[in-house]
Structure 1
Amino acid sequence: MIFLGGGGEGYGTPQQLLLKYGNRHGLIAGATGTGKTITLQILAEGFSAAGVPVFLSDVKGDLGGLAVPGSPEGKLHDAFMKRAATIGLDLVYDAPPVTFWDLYGEQGHPVRTTVSEMGPLLLSRLMELTEPQEGVINVAFRLADDEQLPLLDLKDLQAMLTFIAENAKAISARYGLVSAESAAAIQRRLLVLENQGGAKMFGEPALALADLMQTDAQGRGRVNILAADKLMQAPRLYATFLLWLLSELFEELPEVGDPDKPKLVFFFDEAHLLFDGAPKGLVDKVEQVARLIRSKGVGVYFITQNPADVPDKILGQLGNRVQHALRAFTGRDQVELTRAAETYRPNPRFDTKDAIREVGTGEAVTSFLEAKGVPGMVERTLIRPPASQIGPIPAETRAAILAASPVKGKYETLIDRDSAYERLRARSEAAAREAAAQDEAKAREKAGSDWKIDRKEIEEFRNARRYDPKGGSSAERPRTTSRSSSSRSDSVGEAFAKSFARQLGTKSGQAVIRGVLGTLFGKK
Structure 2
Amino acid sequence: MADGPIFIGSGPGGVDPQNLELKRANRHGLIAGATGTGKTVTLQGIIEGFSARGVPCFVADVKGDLSGLAMAGSPTAKTHAIFAARAAEIGQTDWTYSDNPVQFWDLYGEQGHPIRTTVSEMGPLLLSRLLDLNEVQEGVLNIAFHVADKDGLLILDLDDLQSMLVHCGERADELTTTYGNVSKVSLGTIQRSLLQLRSQGGDHFFGEPALDMDDFIGVDDTGRGIVNILAADKLMASPKLYSTFLLWLMSELFEHLPEIGDPDKPTLCFFFDEAHLLFDEAPKALLDKIEQVVRLIRSKGVGVYFITQNPIDIPDTVAGQLGNRVQHALRAFTPRDQAAVKSAATTFRANPDIDVATAITELKVGEALVSLLLPDGSPSPVQRTLIKAPRSRVGPVTAVERGVLIQTDPIGSKYDTLIDRESAEEILAAKTSEAAAAAAEAKAKTEADKAAAVQAKADAVAAKEAERKRVADQREADRQAKLAAQQQKAAEREAANSPWNRAVTSATRSASSAVGRTVANEVSKAVFGSSRSAGSGIVGGLVRGILGGLFKGR
Q: What's the CA shift for 1:127?
A: 0.5
Would the aligned equivalents of 1:12 and 1:379 in 2 still touch at CA under 8 Å?
A: no
Match of 1:22 among 8, 12, 25: 25
Q: Which amino acid aligns with 2:404?
A: A
**Cα gap change, 1:95 to 1:336, in 2 (>3 Å):** same
**Cα gap change, 1:444 to 1:119, in 2 (>3 Å):** same
Would the aligned equivalents of 1:164 and 1:180 in 2 still touch at CA under 8 Å?
A: no
**Cα gap change, 1:415 to 1:456, in 2 (>3 Å):** closer
Match of 1:206 among 205, 210, 216: 210
Q: Which amino acid aligns with 1:46?
A: G
Q: Which amino acid aligns with 1:415?
A: I
Q: What's the CA shift for 1:468?
A: 11
1:277 maps to 281
Q: What's the CA shift for 1:56?
A: 0.2
1:206-258 residue CA offsets vs partner (Å, 9 max, x unmatched): 00000000100000000000000000000000000000000001111100011
1:394 maps to 398
Matched, 1:145 2:149: yes
Give the secondary structure class of the aligned counterpart of 1:406.
coil
Give the secondary structure class of the aligned counterpart of 1:451.
helix
Match of 1:102 among 88, 103, 106: 106
Alignment of 1:290-309 (within 5 A): 290-309=294-313
Would the aligned equivalents of 2:217 and 2:226 in 1 still touch at CA under 8 Å?
A: yes
Q: What's the CA shift for 1:75?
A: 1.7
CA distance in 1, matches of 2:183, 2:450: 38
Q: Which amino acid aligns with 1:180?
A: K
2:343 maps to 339
Alignment of 1:217-236 (within 5 A): 217-236=221-240
Q: Which amino acid aligns with 1:435?
A: A
Task: For structure 1, list consecutive stretches of 5 or more residues without a partner in the other structure.
Answer: 479-524
**Cα gap change, 1:303 to 1:255, in 2 (>3 Å):** same
Would the aligned equivalents of 2:33 and 2:308 in 1 still touch at CA under 8 Å?
A: yes
2:167 maps to 163
2:201 maps to 197
Would the aligned equivalents of 1:166 and 1:180 in 2 still touch at CA under 8 Å?
A: no
Would the aligned equivalents of 1:28 and 1:321 in 2 still touch at CA under 8 Å?
A: yes
Would the aligned equivalents of 1:160 and 1:420 in 2 still touch at CA under 8 Å?
A: yes
1:57 maps to 60
Instruction: Count residues with an aligned counterpart.
Output: 474
Would the aligned equivalents of 2:155 and 2:161 in 1 still touch at CA under 8 Å?
A: yes
Would the aligned equivalents of 1:12 and 1:380 in 2 still touch at CA under 8 Å?
A: no
2:191 maps to 187
Alignment of 1:62-77 (within 5 A): 62-77=65-80
Give the secondary structure class of the aligned counterpart of 1:432.
helix
Would the aligned equivalents of 2:105 and 2:231 in 1 still touch at CA under 8 Å?
A: yes
Alignment of 1:122-137 (within 5 A): 122-137=126-141
**Cα gap change, 1:377 to 1:163, in 2 (>3 Å):** same
Matched, 1:422 2:426: yes
Q: Which has the larger radius of gyration?
A: 2
Match of 1:117 among 116, 121, 130: 121
Mean CA deviation greater in 195-204 or 161-170: 161-170
CA distance in 1, matches of 2:391, 2:334: 38
Q: CA RMSD in A?
A: 2.0
1:349 maps to 353
Would the aligned equivalents of 1:365 and 1:381 in 2 still touch at CA under 8 Å?
A: yes
Mean CA deviation greater in 178-187 or 196-205: 178-187
Q: What's the CA shift for 1:459?
A: 5.0
2:505 maps to none
Larger helix proportion of the pair: 2
Alignment of 1:428-439 (within 5 A): 428-439=432-443
Q: What's the CA shift for 1:183?
A: 1.0
CA distance in 2, matches of 1:92, 1:331: 43
CA distance in 2, matches of 1:298, 1:323: 22
Q: What's the CA shift for 1:449?
A: 2.6
Q: Which amino acid aligns with 1:42?
A: G
TM-score normalized by structure 1? 0.87
1:481 maps to none
Give the secondary structure class of the aligned counterpart of 1:408.
coil
**Cα gap change, 1:297 to 1:459, in 2 (>3 Å):** closer
Percent identity between the two aligned chains? 58
Q: What's the CA shift for 1:184?
A: 1.6
Q: What's the CA shift for 1:446?
A: 2.2
Q: What's the CA shift for 1:371?
A: 2.4
Alignment of 1:487-502 (within 5 A): none
Matched, 1:238 2:242: yes
CA distance in 1, matches of 2:299, 2:220: 25
Q: What's the CA shift for 1:440?
A: 2.0
Give the secondary structure class of the aligned counterpart of 2:195.
helix
Q: What's the CA shift for 1:331?
A: 2.8
Q: What's the CA shift for 1:465?
A: 6.4
CA distance in 1, matches of 2:90, 2:444: 89
CA distance in 1, matches of 2:280, 2:131: 14
Q: Which amino acid aligns with 1:127?
A: L
Would the aligned equivalents of 1:165 and 1:184 in 2 still touch at CA under 8 Å?
A: no
CA distance in 2, matches of 1:271, 1:145: 33
2:88 maps to 85
**Cα gap change, 1:194 to 1:12, in 2 (>3 Å):** same
TM-score normalized by structure 2? 0.83
Matched, 1:324 2:307: no
Q: What's the CA shift for 1:457?
A: 4.2
Q: What's the CA shift for 1:332?
A: 2.8
Task: For structure 2, list consecutive stretches of 5 or more residues without a partner in the other structure.
Answer: 481-554
1:305-337 residue CA offsets vs partner (Å, 9 max, x unmatched): 111000011111111010000000123322221
CA distance in 2, matches of 1:369, 1:460: 107
CA distance in 2, matches of 1:335, 1:439: 73
Q: What's the CA shift for 1:393?
A: 1.0
1:80-103 residue CA offsets vs partner (Å, 9 max, x unmatched): 111111111121100110000000
Mean CA deviation greater in 350-359 or 228-237: 350-359
Q: What's the CA shift for 1:467?
A: 12
